[in-house]
Amino acid sequence: MHLRRANPVGVGVGGVSTLPTRSTEQETATGIVLEARNVTKRFRSGGGFGKGHDVVAVDDVSLAIKAGETFGLVGESGSGKTTLGRLLLRLEEPTLGSIHFEGADITHLHGKALRNVRPGMQMVFQDPFTSLNPSLTVGQAIGEPLRVVRGLCGAAVGTEITRLLDVVGLSASSQSRLPKEFSGGQRQRVGLARALSLRPRLLILDEPTSALDVSVQAQILNLLRDLQREMALTYILISHDLAVVSYICDRVGVMRRGQLLEVAKRDHFVTSPSHDYSRALRDAVPEIGRPLIEGQAVA
Ligand SMILES: Nc1ncnc2c1ncn2[C@@H]1O[C@H](COP(=O)(O)OP(=O)(O)O)[C@@H](O)[C@H]1O
Ligand SMILES: [Mg+2]
C-alpha cells in the first residue's frame, strides 16, 4: 500500500514527530463538539418470538470529540464502529447512556427536533452509490437538500450546486450526469458534496476510501484534509486500514467487541499503543514485514 511507503505526512521515526501538527491551526477551537457518555447499544437478533439473544454492539463507550480534530475509529470487522457512528449521529437511539452535540443532549430527540440538529452532522459512506438515488442526476441529488433543508430556490440552487462541485474537485457539467456514470473516486466526491450541502460542522466518514484504488484513496484523503482546513470541519473517520488512519487522524480510538479499549494520540498509537489488542491490530498489516510507516519495522 503506497500510503505506508511514501511516509506522506512526514511522521518522524520512533515517535519523534516531525509533523507540522494541525493543532496550531486549531488552537482557537478546543471545545468539545460531540460527546458520548456511557453509551450502550443492544440489538436483538437470531430469531423472533422472544427466542433471540442480545448482541451488545456498543458497550459502555464514553468519548469526547474536539472541534477541528480528526478522530480515527479503528477495530476489526464487527467491533461496533459503524454502530457507534450511527449512535453519535442519532441514526440509532442508544439503549443506555447519552449523546451530546454542541452541548445539547440529543439522546432522545425525535421528529422535528431531531431534524433540526441533523444538518450539523453528516455521515459519508464507503460507497455513496448505495445512498444516491440511481435515477437522479448529481445536480438533482445535491439540489434536493439545498431546496428542502436550506430553503434555497431559483438560480441560487444552481449556483450553490456548481460551487459545491467545485469545492470537491468536480466540473459544473457533472451535475447533468447520473451516479453510474462516475468512477468510485468521483462518486465519493459527489457524496461529499451532498454531505457538505447541508453545511455540517461534523462529518462521520465510514470507510470512505475502502472501495477505492490506492492512488485515488490518497486523492480523497488529501481532499478531506483540504476541506477540513477550509471549512473548520470535525471528522470522525472509521477505518479498518491503519495506514489511512495514520495518514489523516490526530487521535485514534480502538474498538473491540463493542468496547473502546484505548484512545491515544496518533503518533503514540503508531509507535507504542498501550493495549495488547491495539498492538496486535497495528501489527496485523497484510504485508508482513513492510514498514507501516517509513523506517519503522513491523514486528
Ligand atoms: N441492526 C442490527 N441488528 C442486529 N445486530 C446488529 C445490527 N447492526 C449491527 N449489529 C451487530 O453489531 C455488531 C457490530 O457491528 P458494526 O457496528 O457494523 O461493526 P463494524 O462497523 O465495526 O464492522 C456486529 O456483531 C453486528 O452484527
Ligand atoms: Mg462498519
The SS3 assignment for 183 reads coil
Q: In which element (H, E) is residue 39 found?
A: strand 32-45
The SS3 assignment for 242 reads helix
Helical H runs in the chain? 2-6, 81-88, 111-117, 138-148, 155-167, 184-196, 214-231, 242-248, 266-271, 276-283
Task: Answer whether 78 contacts ligand 1 (Cβ < 6 A).
Answer: yes
Instruction: State the pLDDT at residue 285.
Output: 53
Phi, psi at 247, each rounded to 5°: -70, -40
* Vertex 124 angle, CA 133 and 128, to 5°: 30
Task: Answer whether 43 contacts ligand 1 (Cβ < 6 A).
Answer: yes
Instruction: State the pLDDT at residue 50.
Output: 60
Residue 221: exposure state from Cβ atoms within 10 A (0-12, 13-18, ≥19) = buried
CB 225 within 8 A of CB 209: no
Cα distance between residue 144 and residue 31, in whole Å: 32
The SS3 assignment for 293 reads strand
Instruction: State the pLDDT at residue 277.
Output: 73
Spacing, Cα 294 to ligand 2 middle (Å)? 28
Which ligand has an atom closest to residue 88 CA? Answer: 1
Task: Answer whether 79 contacts ligand 1 (Cβ < 6 A).
Answer: yes
Cα first-last separation, the chain? 17
> Tell me, which fold does domain 25-102+202-299 have in CATH?
Rossmann fold (3.40.50)
Which ligand has an atom closest to residue 206 CA? Answer: 2
Tell which atom from ligand 1 comes closest to the C-alpha of 76. Answer: 22
Q: Where are the domains of the chain?
A: 25-102+202-299, 128-200
Task: Answer whether 83 contacts ligand 1 (Cβ < 6 A).
Answer: yes
Tell which atom from ligand 1 comes closest to the C-alpha of 75. Answer: 22
Spacing, Cα 86 to ligand 1 middle (Å)? 11
Task: Answer whether 253 contacts ligand 1 (Cβ < 6 A).
Answer: no
Residues of the chain below pLDDT 50: 1-30, 286-299
Cα separations in angstroms, 291 against 80, 158, 192, 193, 295:
28, 47, 31, 34, 6
CB 120 within 8 A of CB 200: yes
CB count, 10 Å around CB of 174?
23
Instruction: State the pLDDT at residue 61.
Output: 98
DSSP state of 260: E
What single letter denotes the amino acid at residue 38? N
